[in-house]
Chain A
Amino acid sequence: MRLANIVHLGIKELRGLGRNTMLLVLVLYAFSLSIYMGSKAMPETLNRAPIAIVDEDQSALSARITNAFYLPYFMPPRLISQPEMDLRMDAGLDTFALDIPPGFQRDLLAGRSPTIQLNVDATRMSQAFSGGGYVQSIVSGEVEEFLARHRTAGRLPVELDLRARFNPELDEAWFGAINELIEAITMLAVILTGAALIREREHGTVEHLLVMPVTAFEIMAGKIWSMGAVVLAATAFSLFVVVETLLAVPIEGSRALFMLGAGLDILAMTCLGLFLATVAGSMPQFALLTMMVLMPLQLLSGGVTPRENMPEIIQAIMSAAPNTHFVILSQAVLFRGAGLAVVWPQLAALAVISATLFAFSLSRFRQFLR
């Protein structure tokens, strides 16, 4: 009986969703085109970085260095004069500007330790921070090779054998695609359930449910399973069709395990959506609240920047967010091929968060119905 109520209330939600064509189009877009585009547009960490070189040395070595920057990592370097350098950086045309001083080659060979100056536009976030090291190692490499012909003293024959595991080419698209998918899941799960509840209230149908023999638990569970199922189905579609087939991202681990994690994450997110709906008085208020919750969830879950860089306090707060654990789980399962033995703590955390959010929003929901 009770289970039947939950089923029927859920089917009602699905029918309602089915009639909102615009919403369906948006859902489809979020889980296909948006992910595809997002993944294709994401550059490699260092992709086509604009660089300019002020070559005051005009030596063989400086020419060699200039030629070492090429696509796809760097745009072909522009050779500019020193005054131009400041203007171009101000206008944001170059991220890097390398200034090779006069007499660089001569001083180098004479052991006078000359200095090359690398100007980095630090407002350029990721490129600035990761590209600096890159430029440095390219210049060192060129200098090294140049010196190999002139060297008088020996050097140490230790190679560094660097390999990236799980994503050997460091293809940003893989990561981007999964990240986009997680974002879409979060957004949809929160908005669908929350807005559905506000809508019922604005149209006066919640009150009607209350004179029927259904409980708050059943109403909530009905919304959660139905909207959760929609999001889960969209996730499966996106993972198999868009991510695996169209974007050809190799998936290492168990898809079932990922879907299990996704299910738990969706459960938590739908509960969060209901909770927000009980807090908000009207649709505009709900919309603003949703933004205030979605943006930190998106930016601080570890999907955009690594979690370990965040201040301790943020890390602590975000460990209460389902997203954080889901991001860890998806990276581990999809890219590193991790199994249950590795990701069970994340699953457990998701389960605990879901249960807490559910209990919390149920009590809020009961008060809200009063």
Chain B
Amino acid sequence: MNAGAAAAHPVARLDSVSLSHGKTRALDAVTLDIPSGCMVGLIGPDGVGKSSLLSLIAGSRRIQTGRVEVLGGDMADPAHRRGAYPRIAYMPQGLGRNLYPTLSVFDNVDFFGRLFGQGKGEREQRIRGLLDATGLAPFAGRPAAKLSGGMKQKLGLCCALIHDPDLLILDEPTTGIDPLARRQFWQLIERIRESRDGMSVVVATAYMEEAARFDRLVAMDGGQVLACGTAAELLERTGTTDLDAAFIALLPAARREGYRKVVIPPRPADTGGEAAIEADHLTRRFGDFTAVDDVSFRIARGEIFGFIGSNGCGKTTTMKMLTGLLDASEGRALLFGREVDPQDVGVRRRVGYMSQGFSLYSELTVRQNLQLHARLFGLAPGRIAARVDEVAAQFGLTGIMDALPDALPLGNRQRLSLAVAMIHAPNVLILDEPTSGVDPIARDGFWTILVDLSRRLNVTVFVSTHFMNEAERCDRIALMHAGRVLVCDTPAAIVASRGAPTLEAAFVGHLEDAANDGPVAEMAPEPLGAGPGPATGGSRRFFDIRRLYAYTRREALELLRDPIRATLATVGSLILMFVVGYGINMDVENLTFAVLDHDDTTISRDYALQLSGSRFFTEKPPLAGYADMDRRMESGEIALALEIPPGFARDLSRGRETAVGAWIDGAMPSRAETVRGYVEGMHATWLAQKARERYGAGATQGDFRLEVRYRYNPDVRSLDAMAPAVIPMLLLMIPSMLAVLSVVREKELGSIVNFYVTPVTRLEFLLGKQLPYVGIAMVNFLLLTGFAVSVFRVPLTGSLATLTAAAFLYVTVATAMGLFLSTFMRSQIAAIFGTVMLTMIPAAQYSGMIDPVSSLQGVGVFIGRIYPATHFMTISRGVFSKGLGFDDLSRAFLPLLAAIPVLLGLGAAFLRKQDR
């Protein structure tokens, strides 16, 4: 340990750095030097600013006030950050939060390698080395989502180490991991440090026994640094023997006051009677995988029963079966002697359940969350306020009642989750790793409450944990591995029977035994070989095609792993085109009409026959009178009513003026116009015919013919006009929607942090994301065009090459539009709604699909002129119907060409490279 020498060249230096999230102050004027070349631990309770501090050092968050220097430069300076990203590796908090769950282990690491611009050979060699060293090699093809927590963390470490960083930042890397995996993790870090001399490591941790191993410690509280030094120095300064105690001693007096050591009164002698919880040969299979295999145990009333075991060994599944969330494949789960029935709502009132991923409503405040649950559990309305306050006080939530859970540190959220599970004072508490990631003080506080509930109120507590000191507090524990219970007894008995010095040693021993004869869980890690020379840390260039390709490849892989999405995007649009092309018909036919014939002569009937005989009109029963006409027009039964006046035939023969009345339903104006045209035309024809009958050939004077030629679509087939217009609409909506969601989803689910802390630039990120969707859209285009020509028989008269080139530009615009929109959206709901609003409506209304843009009014004209769909619609119709080629349509290409740089430029300008 050469603390003195190292301090001379700090790897990171913070000078009066402050950070606020809304009203919460996460960091309060922190000034701190982090020495290089050693392992520095940040310790302290949750919510004291450890994570904020690390994210500032990693450059993932924007600096608000103060100065942060990392690797000898100012992190506020984008140029320095660009140079620093390849030298820093950052693993954010939360199990695998920056990993891509559908991608395989290999693909995940590979993606990071590409982000740092490494070539194929180098990448493969490095990945092999890392996977071998971490024991992940046998699982290289497994999707990250299917890994256990410990393996996820190792994978995260592989991803972080791919570029040989000089500074490794780990935010609570071992939270929620079982002791065996944790031990392996730290051995791995040790070996990496041995082979990479001079690498600095900064770790935040809640495990004090881990912290004891670090070279230097920084104790934090309330956004401030309490003390710095080696573990020994801290112990000496506080006069304590272990770090837990030292930390508590370092706290200001006011904070220390609430702390009490957990004391567990002995349990009163077993009162006998039925068990509170009983598992009777429980088995659960998922497909051919047996998650829980013949598990049996009984938990007495008021007992604290602990569940320990490696990650993914079936603890959660067992607990879910006991709460009725999952059905058992075999065996029975009993609560108070009654079989758990998922339909029985009554039993749920007696159970409080806290799941592993917290299930709090992030859009409700702490108080609202508590109130909602109180109400749902049917507490008397009058008691709710008092109960909420009582629980809030009990769990130390009083000060944060109006905060939103997402703004709270992990520990507080865990406490809130427990408060929510306890709000209805249940007899049984089933808690799935309630304390993972919670700091020691909060954990002790939590256990004080549990012990109180058990001993005073006789509440049965069934709790799973990875902390051995917590397991020791349980009345009995069950050790689970690979779906089976290995041993179930009091902690002391387990230690004794194993002859181990501590419970942890006993636990690890059991696991190792099981691993030896069971299926290979994790390979014995090999020593980390020397890397293949210095890693390519990534060019500092503004634009690197390899980084871009990293995103393209990843996005494409994700699409391949989600065949439903890819199918919906392609086959779905075919179905849409079919439905719309077939359904929309501009040719108005089958118009209903009825006649109010006051005359009722041969002549008047002949007049009406003129209409009913045409293919456009369908005659309905005659009208009985004006009231009948009103009613039938109101209901929309008839679109046209004709009234022939009394004495029509007589007047006609005498050459007296007379008039036929025609009422058109104007509710749908376009249809009304068509009806008007038809009626006028027929009226004129009828008159001409009558005139010829009466006056003979003399009436032909003034006769002329108007020959209507429907060009480009001589048969006036609606489909021929519709299909070339539907293609632009579909090619806009679907690609832009996919592009928007690809970015917003990363924001909502957390993996956007990889973009923040790697050298990838904004343009590389956007273009990289865009390419696969351009590819999918082009496939779509070919499918749609092929479908139109072969199934709809729409003639394609012009140049297919021109159309294809235009389609390529157009879908590039569509996806760029999606990416631009994504910079404003944070939630996927808003993204979906916004994209539908901003693509479907303009494409249908302002792009000349139904009405030509030149005929629009007001803003519509403006939107129509600049909207890309308009121009592609012109090209599509030109090529399909008008037999045109590039020379004729070149004018419509220009706006599309211009839109691409504009949209991408705006997208890049508005996209943030750091979190706020």
Mask: chain B, 693-708; 1 = CB below 8 Å from A; 0 = not: 0110111111111111
Is B829 in contact with A288, judged by CB distance below 8 angstroms? no
The yes or no answer to A113 lying at the interface (CB within 8 A) is yes
Out of B583, B636, B851, name the residue touching A310 (CB < 8 Å).
B583
Is A15 in contact with B833, judged by CB distance below 8 angstroms? no
Is B710 in contact with A160, judged by CB distance below 8 angstroms? no
- In the complex where A15-B363, A22-B824 touch, is A331 in contact with B849 (Cβ < 8 A)? no
Is A30 in contact with B661, judged by CB distance below 8 angstroms? no
Is B737 in contact with A288, judged by CB distance below 8 angstroms? yes
Which residue in chain B gives the minimum CB-CB distance to A23? B830
Looking at the complex, which of A166-174, A233-241, A259-267, A350-358 is the stretch in contact with chain B?
A: A166-174
Which residue in chain B gives the minimum CB-CB distance to A211? B353
Secondary structure type dominating chain B contacts: helix
Mask: chain A, 311-332; 1 = CB below 8 Å from B; 0 = not: 1001000100000000010011
The yes or no answer to B579 lying at the interface (CB within 8 A) is yes
Report how far A250 CA is from B877 CA in the complex, Å.
38
Out of B376, B585, B670, B697, name the residue touching A172 (CB < 8 Å).
B670
- In the complex where A8-B372, A175-B668, A210-B325 touch, is A127 in contact with B855 (Cβ < 8 A)? yes
Chain A residue numbers with a CB within 8 Å of B841 are 34, 38, 183
The yes or no answer to B305 lying at the interface (CB within 8 A) is no
Inter-chain contact count A-B, CB under 8 Å?
490
Out of A113, A154, A170, name the residue touching B695 (CB < 8 Å).
A154
Report how far A158 CA is from B607 CA in the complex, Å.
11
Which residue in chain A gives the minimum CB-CB distance to B744? A283
Is A291 in contact with B711, judged by CB distance below 8 angstroms? no
The yes or no answer to B677 lying at the interface (CB within 8 A) is yes
Is A140 in contact with B706, judged by CB distance below 8 angstroms? yes
The yes or no answer to B666 lying at the interface (CB within 8 A) is yes
Chain B residue numbers with a CB within 8 Å of A15 are 363-364, 368
Is B846 in contact with A41, judged by CB distance below 8 angstroms? yes
Report how far A204 CA is from B674 CA in the complex, Å.
55
Report how far A83 CA is from B562 CA in the complex, Å.
55
Mask: chain B, 593-604; 1 = CB below 8 Å from A; 0 = not: 000000000000
Is B659 in contact with A204, judged by CB distance below 8 angstroms? no
Is B833 in contact with A5, judged by CB distance below 8 angstroms? no
The yes or no answer to B664 lying at the interface (CB within 8 A) is yes
- In the complex where A26-B833, A113-B700, A120-B708 touch, is A211 in contact with B858 (Cβ < 8 A)? no
**Closest chain B CB from A308 CB (angstroms):** 5
- In the complex where A159-B660, A162-B680 touch, is A118 in contact with B709 (Cβ < 8 A)? yes
Is B721 in contact with A167, judged by CB distance below 8 angstroms? no
Chain B residue numbers with a CB within 8 Å of A365 are none
The yes or no answer to B827 lying at the interface (CB within 8 A) is yes
Q: Which of B563-605 contact A (CB under 8 A)?
A: 564-565, 568-569, 572, 575-576, 579-580, 582-592
Report how far A160 CA is from B676 CA in the complex, Å.
11
Chain B residue numbers with a CB within 8 Å of A64 are none
**Closest chain A CB from B408 CB (angstroms):** 15
Which residue in chain B gives the minimum CB-CB distance to A335? B667
Is B376 in contact with A8, judged by CB distance below 8 angstroms? yes
Chain A residue numbers with a CB within 8 Å of B121 are none
Is B711 in contact with A121, judged by CB distance below 8 angstroms? yes
Is B712 in contact with A123, judged by CB distance below 8 angstroms? yes
Is B377 in contact with A119, judged by CB distance below 8 angstroms? no
State how many residues of chain B have any CB contact under 8 Å with chain A: 161
Chain B residue numbers with a CB within 8 Å of A331 are 636, 667-668
Report how far A308 CA is from B586 CA in the complex, Å.
11
Is A16 in contact with B741, judged by CB distance below 8 angstroms? no
Which residue in chain A gives the minimum CB-CB distance to B356? A204
Q: Which of A127-159 contact B (CB under 8 A)?
A: 127-130, 132-137, 139-140, 143-144, 147, 150-159
Is B701 in contact with A109, judged by CB distance below 8 angstroms? yes
Out of B376, B587, B711, name the residue touching A119 (CB < 8 Å).
B711
- In the complex where A5-B376, A288-B569 touch, is A128 in contact with B710 (Cβ < 8 A)? yes
Report how far A284 CA is from B828 CA in the complex, Å.
9
Is B687 in contact with A156, judged by CB distance below 8 angstroms? yes
Is A45 in contact with B673, judged by CB distance below 8 angstroms? yes
Report how far A167 CA is from B665 CA in the complex, Å.
8
Out of A34, A117, A144, name the residue touching B837 (CB < 8 Å).
A34
Is B677 in contact with A136, judged by CB distance below 8 angstroms? yes
Chain B residue numbers with a CB within 8 Å of A226 are none
**Closest chain B CB from A316 CB (angstroms):** 11
Report how far A213 CA is from B344 CA in the complex, Å.
8
Is A204 in contact with B702, judged by CB distance below 8 angstroms? no
Which residue in chain A gives the minimum CB-CB distance to B365? A15
Chain A residue numbers with a CB within 8 Å of B636 are 328, 331-332, 336
Report how far A204 CA is from B749 CA in the complex, Å.
12
Report how far A288 CA is from B575 CA in the complex, Å.
12
The yes or no answer to B669 lying at the interface (CB within 8 A) is yes
Is A114 in contact with B634, judged by CB distance below 8 angstroms? no
Is B683 in contact with A160, judged by CB distance below 8 angstroms? yes
Chain B residue numbers with a CB within 8 Å of A314 are 579, 582-583
Is B699 in contact with A170, judged by CB distance below 8 angstroms? no
Is B583 in contact with A165, judged by CB distance below 8 angstroms? no
Is B836 in contact with A207, judged by CB distance below 8 angstroms? no
Mask: chain A, 36-78; 1 = CB below 8 Å from B; 0 = not: 0110111111111110000000000000000000000001000
Is A159 in contact with B829, judged by CB distance below 8 angstroms? no
Is A308 in contact with B652, judged by CB distance below 8 angstroms? no
Is B878 in contact with A90, judged by CB distance below 8 angstroms? yes
**Closest chain B CB from A100 CB (angstroms):** 10
**Closest chain A CB from B163 CB (angstroms):** 30
The yes or no answer to B900 lying at the interface (CB within 8 A) is no
The yes or no answer to A247 lying at the interface (CB within 8 A) is no
Out of B349, B583, B661, B671, name the residue touching A163 (CB < 8 Å).
B661
Out of A29, A43, A89, name the residue touching B857 (CB < 8 Å).
A43
Chain A residue numbers with a CB within 8 Å of B562 are 282, 284-285
**Closest chain A CB from B404 CB (angstroms):** 8
Is A170 in contact with B673, judged by CB distance below 8 angstroms? yes
Is B858 in contact with A111, judged by CB distance below 8 angstroms? no
The yes or no answer to B318 lying at the interface (CB within 8 A) is no
The yes or no answer to A287 lying at the interface (CB within 8 A) is yes
Chain A residue numbers with a CB within 8 Å of B745 are 283-284
Is B706 in contact with A22, judged by CB distance below 8 angstroms? no
Report how far A26 CA is from B364 CA in the complex, Å.
21
Is A122 in contact with B680, judged by CB distance below 8 angstroms? no
**Closest chain B CB from A286 CB (angstroms):** 7
The yes or no answer to B490 lying at the interface (CB within 8 A) is no
Looking at the complex, which of B393-401, B514-522, B859-867 is the stretch in contact with chain A?
A: B859-867
Chain B residue numbers with a CB within 8 Å of A48 are 854-855
Is A332 in contact with B361, judged by CB distance below 8 angstroms? no
The yes or no answer to A367 lying at the interface (CB within 8 A) is no
Is A287 in contact with B737, judged by CB distance below 8 angstroms? yes
Q: Which of A90-136 contact B (CB under 8 A)?
A: 90-92, 95, 104, 108-109, 111, 113-130, 132-136
Which residue in chain A gives the minimum CB-CB distance to B656? A157
Is A136 in contact with B708, judged by CB distance below 8 angstroms? yes
Looking at the complex, which of B261-269, B472-480, B807-815, B881-889 is the stretch in contact with chain A?
A: B881-889
Chain B residue numbers with a CB within 8 Å of A147 are 701-702
Is B666 in contact with A115, judged by CB distance below 8 angstroms? no
The yes or no answer to B725 lying at the interface (CB within 8 A) is yes
Is A5 in contact with B375, judged by CB distance below 8 angstroms? yes
The yes or no answer to B403 lying at the interface (CB within 8 A) is no
Report how far A147 CA is from B592 CA in the complex, Å.
35
The 6 A-B pairs of least Cβ separation, nearest first, read A41-B860, A133-B677, A208-B359, A167-B666, A122-B713, A16-B363
10 extra interchain contacts, Cβ-Cβ under 8 A, other than A204-B357, A308-B590? A12-B361, A15-B368, A23-B827, A90-B888, A128-B710, A152-B701, A287-B835, A304-B844, A314-B582, A338-B634
21 A-B interface contacts by CB (under 8 A)? A38-B841, A45-B674, A89-B711, A109-B701, A115-B704, A115-B707, A120-B708, A128-B586, A147-B702, A153-B699, A158-B683, A164-B663, A167-B667, A188-B833, A205-B360, A208-B359, A213-B349, A282-B562, A284-B737, A296-B579, A305-B670
